Structure 1
């Protein structure tokens, strides 16, 4: 899979992924609007070119408050994210070329106020890795933090199960897209007490949707 060319789908305005990107950006804007005053920490795992966050921050009144880390394995996408952040005058946004499944890359930004898991759950195994990823959000999030996550609704539809996992770990669902959309976007707010992030924690292996078993 050429993960840089994959982003071309965002440029087709009527594509499901372009629709998903707009929905994610709307939810990011809403999360920043309602975040408490002061510095804001944002973590994006499997961030790609960072189009979700970088499409919101330039015109948002909280842009100067945000310190963000975009963790992405594909080096070409990291270069593009860095170029965009620089061009937009966003020195608080850092893109790193690293395995997002290893959370040591985020340790200095924990607990975060916003965690983006966009394009994660559809590219990892549907059992243990998904459950570990949901559980570790209790170690990434500050009280009241939002997690914005995506998952397609192709059979078998994993969205209801993932929602249940979040709610089991102390998250309250604030918003989700109607089931008629093949690409689902959901927002959960953390209402429990953060657990410590353990050094060396591996959460998932990014397999890629094209290599996952049917």
Structure 2
């Protein structure tokens, strides 16, 4: 793989990552809810690490080629996004407002643990079938099959790591910017957090309806 190919992939990948979606919504919610942005983004990146491993092992093609498995994955991911979005809408945590965050059981308590913040991020990106399809539709266009120094699985891993790095940079920026700009504006922060929750709920509902409509 030459540097031109890597730069072309990074440019396209950056544009795709900059399109707001469930990952953006979670990064914003983490930044405004008093949670660790680094932990939330690390969870999101971990989910894409799973996609990278699946693609490198050739399992991504198997998942995409199995309607039942892809449907199960989509339903699980969509259901989780709907639940998480509804949780955020019910009680948006905002820095400095003295309101405790909602824990995983929907009860009012202290801020969620680091493991829970990380796990939610990993579930959002790891269960998102759109991430899996990204590896199937975009990444293969940048793989060199003939005359390459690296085998295809290794090339896939390299591009996957670049995607993870791009996600980490963009989502950290999104979360920290949201905290810096809106951290001292509780009313605006609460509105943005609720919008993020609505985005997660809407995306989850759309994925669920889209998949069930194909059955």
Tell me the TM-score range normalised by the shorter chain: under 0.3
Select the structure of larger CA radius of gyration.
2
* Larger helix share, 1 or 2: 2
* Larger strand share, 1 or 2: 1
TM-score, length of structure 1 as denominator length: 0.27
